[in-house]
Amino acid sequence: MCGRFVSASPPDEIARYFDAAAPEALLEPSYNVAPTNDVYAVLSDGGVRRVDAFHWGLVPAWAKDPKVGSRMINARAETLATKNAFKPALKRRRCLIPADGFYEWKKLPDAKRKQPYFVHRPDGEPFAFAGLWEVWRGPKDAEGNRTGEPLRSCTIITTDANAVMSEVHDRMPVILPPAAWDDWLDPDNDDLDTLGKLLVPAPPGVTELTAVSTQVNSVRNKGAELIEPASPDELVS
C-alpha cells in the first residue's frame, strides 16, 4: 500500500517535469503527506496536461459523506474494473500523482516498533504514481439539487511489490514510466485490457530503500529531516 509520501518539489518544477500547465492552487511542500491531505495530480484536459490540487482519498460521486475517502487512499490494480468506487474513474478519470518518494514500514523480529524506510529513485527524479480522480458534488436536497462545493479527490493505485519493495511490504504504488503517461492520461482511451497491462510492479532499479528515523511516524512532522538516513541510534531495535 501507500499511506505516506513526499511531495516537496516546487509546483513549477513538477509542471516542467510532466510537461504540464502549473497549478493555480499552490500547496505547501510536505515530506510527510498523509491521507486526507491535499496533493498534486497531473491529468489531461482536452489533450493538454495540467497539474491540479486534489484531496487524497477518493470520494465516489455516489457517496453520501466525503469521509468515505479516508478509506480509499489506495486502490488495488487487480480489482479496479470491478469495484463500483473505482470503475467509473478507471474509464475516464485517470491521473498521475507526483511524489519525491514514499514511506513503508518493516516489522523486525522482537522489536516493538516497525522500522520506517524512505523509498525513492536512485537518480533522485520523482515517481509518477498511477491514480484515479473523481468529483463529489454533495448529497441532493429535498428538491434534488446538489449541496455544497464540489470536492475533487484522488487515489493511488497499488500492485504487487517488486524485488526491492518485497523486503519491507508485499504491495507498492504503481509507478508509470514516461512512455506510458500519454496512454494512461488519455480520457478517450477506454481499452481497459491495455490499461491494465500498465499496472505492474516497477523494475527493481527504480526503487531504493533508505532507513529513516521514527519521526516520520507522526503526521505532525513534515520537514526535510524525515528523509535523512537514520543514525545508528535512531534505528529500531
Residue 155 CA to residue 151 CA, distance in Å, equals 13
Work out the average pLDDT over 165-182. 97
Around 30, how many Cα atoms within 13 Å sit in the side-chain half-sphere?
A: 22
Where residue 237 falls among pLDDT bands split at 50, 70, 90?
A: confident
Residue 144 has pLDDT above 70, yes or no: no
Where residue 169 falls among pLDDT bands split at 50, 70, 90?
A: very high
* Domains defined for the chain, CATH in brackets: 5-234 (3.90.1680.10)
Per residue in 31-59, pLDDT (tens digit) is 999 999 999 999 998 889 999 999 999 99
**Cell digits for 175?**
509507478
Residue 1 has pLDDT above 90, yes or no: no
**Sequence letter at residue 100:** D
Where residue 149 falls among pLDDT bands split at 50, 70, 90?
A: confident
Residue 104 annotated as catalytic: yes
Write down the pTM of the prediction.
0.95
**Spatial contact of 173 and 157, defined as CB atoms under 8 Å apart:** yes
Residue 95 annotated as catalytic: no
Out of 95, 104, 134, 154, the active site residue is: 104
Work out the average pLDDT over 124-131. 98
Query: How far, in Å, are 25, 93, 94 from residue 132 at the CA level?
Result: 19, 6, 4
Out of 2, 95, 134, 154, the active site residue is: 2
Residue 126 has pLDDT above 90, yes or no: yes
Give the residue, 112 or 160, on which the prediction is more confident. Answer: 160
Measured in degrees and rounded to the nearest 5, phi and psi for residue 149 equal: -80, 145
